[in-house]
């Protein structure tokens, strides 16, 4: 462990020899650079809580505006966004009112939350096994390579992938 007497650098010896009450941070023109100054520190810290002199100049600079200003009617934006929000809430309320078995929704939602929690615990346990994460990473890279070769590299594979996605969309929405 290094102490003040075992410091080898002359600048560090000078800093360590200064009394702590005479050290104060002084700000330069660049707000991110701080320098040690051997001037006396102020008697209370409340007076030193003002921003440095160059800080206000960087904030007020017109080259780097903090807020982007866009001309628009505030009433139009508010009315459009409120209309969208009301439409979403009315759609959700209508769908909820149409449901006949509301307890099953809570049961499925609770089961999903419990399943996510359990899978998180299981993944943490598997991650602590020494070589398994690296092996699973290799398996993932292999599957990624197979997927690219099968579905993305050639036009026939891309067409097949597109048709599979469209069929899945139809199956989910119930159009099929």
Separate counts of helices (H) and strands (E) for the chain: 6, 2
User: For residues 41 and 17, is the Cβ–Cβ distance under 8 A?
Assistant: no
Whether residues 91 and 125 share a domain: the answer is yes
Per-residue pLDDT, 26: 47
User: For residues 105 and 99, is the Cβ–Cβ distance under 8 A?
Assistant: yes
Average pLDDT over residues 44-71: 55
Whether residues 102 and 136 share a domain: the answer is no
Whether residues 159 and 122 share a domain: the answer is no
Whether residues 85 and 124 share a domain: the answer is yes
Domain coverage including residue 109: 81-129
What percentage of residues in the chain have a pLDDT greater than 70? 56
The mean-pLDDT minimum among 75-84, 104-113, 156-165 falls in 75-84
């Amino acid at each position: 462990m290094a102490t003040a007497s075992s410091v080898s650098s002359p600048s560090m010896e000078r800093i360590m020899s200064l009394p702590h009450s005479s050290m104060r941070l002084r700000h330069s023109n660049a707000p991110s650079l701080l320098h040690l100054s051997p001037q006396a520190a102020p008697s209370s810290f409340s007076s030193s809580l003002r921003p440095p002199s160059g800080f206000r100049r960087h904030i007020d600079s017109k080259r780097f505006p903090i807020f982007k200003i866009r001309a628009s009617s505030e009433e139009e934006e508010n009315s459009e966004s409120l209309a969208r929000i009301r439409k979403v809430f009315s759609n959700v309320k209508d769908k909820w009112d149409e449901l006949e078995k509301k307890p099953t929704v809570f049961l499925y939602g609770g089961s999903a939350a419990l399943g996510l929690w359990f899978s998180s615990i299981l993944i943490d346990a598997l991650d602590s096994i020494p070589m398994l994460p690296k092996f699973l990473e290799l398996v993932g890279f292999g599957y990624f390579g197979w997927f690219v070769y099968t579905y993305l590299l050639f036009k026939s594979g891309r067409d097949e992938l597109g048709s599979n996605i469209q069929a899945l969309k139809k199956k989910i929405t119930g159009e099929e």
